[in-house]
Structure 1
Amino acid sequence: MIPSFHDHPLLSVERLSLSHRGGRGLSAVVHDVSFDLDRGEILGIIGESGAGKSTIGNAILGLLPSGFEQVAGTIRFAGEAMETIDPNDRVWLRGRRIASIFQDHTASLDPLMSIGRQLTETIRALDPALSRKAAKARAIELLALVEISEAEGRFDAYPHQLSGGQRQRVVIAIALAGSPDIIVADEPTSALDATVQKQVLRLLRSLVVERGLSVLLVTHDMGVVAEVTDRVVVMRHGQVVEQGFTPALLDGPQQEYTRRLLAAVPRLRIGKTSAAFETDLRSDAAPVLTARNISKSFAASGIGVPFQKRAPKRVLDGIDIEMGRGAITGIVGESGSGKSTIGRIVAGLERGDGGMLAIDGRPFDVTVSAHRNGLLGRVQMIFQDPATSLNPRLTIGATLEEVCRSRADKPAGKIASGMACDMLERLGLPAGFVNRYPHQLSGGQKQRVCIGRALLAAPDIIVADEPTSALDVSVQAEIVALLRECVEQDGLSMIFISHDLAVVQELCGTVYIIKDGVIEDFGPPDLIFAHTQNPYTRSLIAARASRFTL
């Protein structure tokens, strides 16, 4: 039986407890959680990694992985206990009445199918009686609804031909295909830059207002909670710490854990000086990295129309960067601005079309591969997603030892093992982690291993590409502190690529603002953020500004 609406909350979670059955029996994951979601409301669930917030979202969707059990409590949709609903009816509910938006828009879309085809297949699966022509018209209507420009022209585009923000909009359009009552959005903006994030959040809010939707927003980002939610539930270790209306909870948290969580949020300081700025003013080191007139174009690819006929796109156009030894230099820009491409060229993972790159005065030809020009090994990368950066078949110890053996001095087996153990101690990880596999570590622990792997390669420069954007605020603060400590102790230099202005201000002595492959602005973050007259930089600051701006 499909529930109908009466005087009940749209969604009610009552004393819910979930456990996971493993080799040692049941272990509690969520314990005695209760909250309601009303029609036309955005309810945020916030907490650190492992708090159980995504597990609750999956339980509501009926997508709990194998091994999870609901041991107590109930989930009611429009007053009807979902566990009593016929399994076939519950499948019908998913997509039509309760839809989902997940964090990784890339994984949510099939790279071999155009976005139009993916939308029309979803629409026809939810309404088999609809003709292909009507489904296509509905798909274009949905693309326009989520503010995809040139919706009809983009219908035949493939996911790789869209920016990250556009792909997330397509995922939202797919979620809306069945005209649901509830959307469960699990970290829908964590991988997006500030301006795109603000656009997506505004879109979600407008859908709530205009269509009467309700949204359960799972996130670790306090800025997102402050921006868009009506009420918020704070979770820790599978339990509710406190909940209430968003303004009241953020202005006057009752629990110490909530206060610590709020204190860990990086603040964008306008007109105040950071420690990174003071360090940069004292630095008179000679440049360790010089990049001049770096350019890069990408040829349009794919079989979509009309995008396949486009001329090569200029991604970088005459980029000049200089960085001193021991400095941390930030590169900031929106999705598609070219900031990651700069990092990949400096690291030798991407060839440039032209320009000059020099490390400690030694020039490298960026138009040839790093294997041939001698750049390989001089620069190491730390990537955004630590889970995909580590080989799942290798233990942590084997991963770190492999890097040691690739060094020029090629230490023997026992020495390499000792170096790996020493690095784990330096990273604040237990020695027993040498025998663990990546899936047995949290996101923050995996990112620490990635940092250790980069350090063991003994590079001159580290390029950190969005290394904290997928981490919760407290872990993010720990990783930022660890990166600063590594640069200071090892005499390294670092390029820190990010879309978070507050983290860049905290960590970097100089920042380059990139837009469409061109440097728009550069200088010490404190001066830039307080006094810049550049319209683009000011738009980035405005997009990031919130109650967490000082």
Structure 2
Amino acid sequence: MTIAQTAPGKGVVDDGDLAAIRDLSVSFVTDAGPIKAVDKVNLTIPRRSIVGIVGESGSGKSVTARSILKLLPETATTSGAIYLKSRDRSSEMDVLSLSGEDLRRMRGEEAAMVFQEPNSVLNPVYTIGWQIAEGLRAHGITDKNEQRAKSIDILKKVGIPDAETRIDYYPHQFSGGQKQRIVIAMALVLNAGLILADEPTTALDVTVQAEILDLLRMARDEFDASVLIITHNMGVIADVADNVIVMYRGHVVEQGDVEQIFYTPQHDYTKRLLAAVPRIGQKLVVRGDDGQIVERSQDWRTQPVAVKAKGLEITYPGHLMQPDFKAVKGIDFEIHRSEVLGLVGESGSGKSTTGRAIAGLQRISGGSLNVLGMEMNGFKEREFKPKRADIGFVFQDPGSSFNPLMTIAQNVAEPLLVHRKYDSLAAARKYVEELLEMVQLPKAYMDRFPHELSGGQRQRASLARALALKPSLLIADEPTSALDVSVQAKVLELFKRLQVEIGFACLFITHDLAVVDMLADRIMVMHQGEIVEHGDADQILGSPKNPYTKKLLASLPIPDPREQRKHRAHLHELLAAE
């Protein structure tokens, strides 16, 4: 193995550190020429600590982390050095010089990766027990009884209930949070000294996110591992990180302990990043070109009702002898014109199902749902089709809702052509230009394809398409969940400005309470298909009555390390009282 056999403390890596990156540069070969993703990065990872890397998409966070395991594609050219000390401190290796058997042994035994999307890691045709044991087999543990015992033990440690039975379950039989726990178990099973976690909580509800962050703390405190966590969520960093590294355009612009970064940031980019973080109680104030605050001219309470639900029920029929599943259980609510109603809750609570029913994309099974004057219980598509022009829908992932074979102009113009507002794309082109200008997207982007735009740019284009027909009602389903905080701040400001200008009624679906607080007039909290709390935003978030709402609020990490420590203690008290 290409390991410099050295006495402890005599190598490149200091005795108190586990890893050191020196002048790391990574370039990728593309058709347009080489692109430098990481430029002369220097950082250290102390032993038994959690180090957070933050920055926008494209800043080089994931490339830096993947370099530690040599997981970059063949198009990557790497220079510099990455030194990793063995867990027992007896040896030190230059990772970039490792290959073959040496590299395979290092992965898993010395460093392991927790990927962002567990579904891309877990093989759907094998049980999770087989998949955890696969790592053990690869590292020489061949006894099946020992493999099973170690797999059950690690599943118990990461909080999978009834591990002795569920070890034989397949990935689809677990929730998203449990799948993330299983991926963390796979990283911990060989007792690696360094755990690399790439956006491990991005798509998770705040309650599940809090559990995963507790698990990463356990990796540090009970397994004595170091954790390198990559995230764009500053609340997560405040909650778990001991040290923070801020990256921007391939460079490390600032690094220090968590309190220094949050309370006395030095670099302008770090200051901008922290200023963009949404916080509960921080209402969004948008100013026009003249410096005046942009606000509605009329009180939404005086406006007519756009959507009214009474005893609304939505049931998914069972298949293959399975019972029916009632996703929405007799809920009541109203949305006024020019009002923003926030709908929050965990995955599976019925939020998106409710939004899809309002848009006529999901049939209702009971009660009444009146949308823009039309009853949706038993509606006929030919009667509802004219109403569709009055309803806009902003999807969670614009990348999958856009046709990848069509340009941005064609995608945005599609509803205009479907509803025969224009005869052709050429006729609609000037209006599409105006729409893109309205969402602050240069008209030069019109002839690009969706994959050529960043996540924030695609979300702006998605908003332009949703507003193309000047709808009376807009349904926004998690429109900012996958965006960087700086991009999210711009999209939310744009959303607020357009909502005031156009005056559409809006159902804003999200699991981020800080985001909904910035926009919503009223908030509904949904849990297991029922509305458990409903009222003005200030009342719901300021003095919640329902235990579930209190738990949701306590689970949301605050981007302030000192406050978050108290906040986390409060969450653990609530959980202990359940």
* Structure 2 length-normalised TM: 0.87
Structure 2 counterpart of 1:285: 303
Question: What SS does structure 1 have at the residue aligned with 2:356?
Answer: helix
Q: Amino acid of the residue matched to residue 265 of structure 1?
A: V
Structure 1 counterpart of 2:547: 535
Q: Matches of 1:423 and 1:81 in 2, distance apart? A: 53
Match 2:84 to one of 55, 77, 93: 77
Question: What SS does structure 2 have at the residue aligned with 1:217?
Answer: strand
Structure 2 counterpart of 1:178: 190
Match 1:32 to one of 33, 40, 53: 40
**What is the correspondence of 1:505-544 to structure 2 with a 5 Å cutoff?**
505-544=517-556
Q: By how many angstroms is 1:242 displaced?
A: 0.6
Q: Matches of 2:131 and 2:478 in 1, distance apart? A: 29
Task: Kindly indicate whether residue 312 of structure 2 is the aligned counterpart of residue 294 of structure 1.
Answer: yes
Q: By how many angstroms is 1:12 displaced?
A: 0.9
Change (3 A) 1:114 1:467: farther
Change (3 A) 1:502 1:149: same
Structure 1 counterpart of 2:24: 16
Change (3 A) 1:76 1:274: closer
Q: Amino acid of the residue matched to residue 334 of structure 2?
A: E
Deviations 1:257-297 (A, max 9, x none): 1111111111112xx87769x96965311110112222234
Task: Kindly indicate whether residue 175 of structure 2 is the aligned counterpart of residue 167 of structure 1.
Answer: no
Deviations 1:238-258 (A, max 9, x none): 111110000121111111211
Q: Is the 8 A contact 1:444 1:475 kept in 2?
A: yes
Q: Amino acid of the residue matched to residue 372 of structure 2?
A: D
Change (3 A) 1:259 1:92: same
**What is the correspondence of 1:101-500 to structure 2 with a 5 Å cutoff?**
101-127=114-140, 129-131=142-144, 133-269=145-281, 283-298=301-316, 311-365=323-377, 374=385, 376-500=388-512
Bigger shift: 400-409 or 376-385?
376-385
Q: By how many angstroms is 1:223 displaced?
A: 0.4
Deviations 1:474-500 (A, max 9, x none): 101011111122222223221111111
Deviations 1:65-101 (A, max 9, x none): 242211x311111132112223331133223322111
Q: Amino acid of the residue matched to residue 451 of structure 1?
A: L
Deviations 1:303-343 (A, max 9, x none): xxxxx986444322112221011111111112222212212
Change (3 A) 1:547 1:285: same
Deviations 1:375-396 (A, max 9, x none): 6554333222232222222221
Q: Matches of 2:2 and 2:302 in 1, distance apart? A: 70
Q: Matches of 1:44 and 1:165 in 2, distance apart? A: 21
Q: Matches of 1:356 and 1:368 in 2, distance apart? A: 11
Structure 1 counterpart of 2:70: 62
Q: Matches of 1:422 and 1:113 in 2, distance apart? A: 51
Structure 1 counterpart of 2:289: none
Q: Amino acid of the residue matched to residue 529 of structure 1?
A: L
Bigger shift: 314-323 or 105-114?
105-114
Match 1:49 to one of 52, 57, 82: 57
Structure 2 counterpart of 1:305: none
Q: Is the 8 A contact 1:163 1:335 kept in 2?
A: no
Q: Amino acid of the residue matched to residue 154 of structure 1?
A: R
Question: What SS does structure 1 have at the residue aligned with 2:523?
Answer: strand
Q: By how many angstroms is 1:224 displaced?
A: 0.6
Question: What SS does structure 1 have at the residue aligned with 2:222?
Answer: helix
Q: Is the 8 A contact 1:387 1:438 kept in 2?
A: yes
Bigger shift: 18-27 or 177-186?
18-27
Question: What SS does structure 2 have at the residue aligned with 1:314?
Answer: strand
Q: By how many angstroms is 1:104 displaced?
A: 2.0
Q: Matches of 1:21 and 1:419 in 2, distance apart? A: 38
Change (3 A) 1:456 1:67: same
Q: Matches of 1:450 and 1:460 in 2, distance apart? A: 17
Q: Matches of 1:341 and 1:433 in 2, distance apart? A: 33
Q: Matches of 2:195 and 2:283 in 1, distance apart? A: 41
Q: By how many angstroms is 1:453 displaced?
A: 1.7
Q: Matches of 2:329 and 2:541 in 1, distance apart? A: 24
Match 1:90 to one of 78, 81, 103: 103
Q: Matches of 1:354 and 1:541 in 2, distance apart? A: 31
Q: By how many angstroms is 1:370 displaced?
A: 5.3
Q: Matches of 1:128 and 1:377 in 2, distance apart? A: 62
Deviations 1:122-174 (A, max 9, x none): 4434445132x443343332222211223334334443443322221122122
Q: Is the 8 A contact 1:350 1:369 kept in 2?
A: no
Q: Matches of 2:507 and 2:133 in 1, distance apart? A: 43
Change (3 A) 1:421 1:274: closer
Question: What SS does structure 2 have at the residue aligned with 1:532?
Answer: coil
Q: Matches of 2:380 and 2:43 in 1, distance apart? A: 55
Q: Matches of 2:439 and 2:171 in 1, distance apart? A: 37
Change (3 A) 1:372 1:268: same
Change (3 A) 1:210 1:414: same
Q: By how many angstroms is 1:473 displaced?
A: 0.7
Bigger shift: 292-301 or 350-359?
292-301
Q: Matches of 1:94 and 1:372 in 2, distance apart? A: 60
Identity %: 38
Residue segments in structure 1 that go unaligned for 5+ positions in a row: 302-307
Q: Is the 8 A contact 2:41 2:251 kept in 1?
A: yes
Aligned residue pairs: how many? 538
Change (3 A) 1:68 1:483: same
Change (3 A) 1:95 1:348: farther
Question: What SS does structure 2 have at the residue aligned with 1:384?
Answer: coil
Change (3 A) 1:347 1:141: farther
Q: Is the 8 A contact 1:513 1:522 kept in 2?
A: yes
